Chains A and B, each alone.
Chain A
């Protein structure tokens, strides 16, 4: 079955460390997105990418970095510059025709600073 796989499900980061969250899709979707969700809050867009080797900053890109070397993969690195990284991170993807088909989400990665 096609879908989006996020790993790991839980991740612990020490102060000053960079960590990378994985996001892989086998839906042949063109666009991919990263969102951050804090308790009781909505979704905030971190980065998005429409095509391979191209991506744009979202509303809260500071302290994060991404790459899009393959259509299927869109990993997110949370750098030490992100001062409050504890949150639930969601990856999503969409067909170019998201107008009709909407967006598909992964099951999320919960990141905790220890």
Chain B
């Protein structure tokens, strides 16, 4: 079945440093979605990318979808303590009916 892998599993940064998490799927994706889950909270939708090579920005966050639609990345510029949490990618395979979540990258930010 479809597998979605994320690296790194954990990332510890000093406030103000940049952060990137990478998502790789074993199969071509119809789209890719990114979610953030704060400690003790629930996943919150951040963004959806649909087109090959698509790049979207939300303030300090930059999302990319690979040309082959099998990988994606989330980059945060100048992290803040409010960025703390676990970032998940999720995406339905091109021929699959359901979305598979990656294992997530947990970000901690030291003030």
Report whether chain A binds chain B: no
Residues of B that sit less than 8 Å from A by CB: none
Residues of A that sit less than 8 Å from B by CB: none
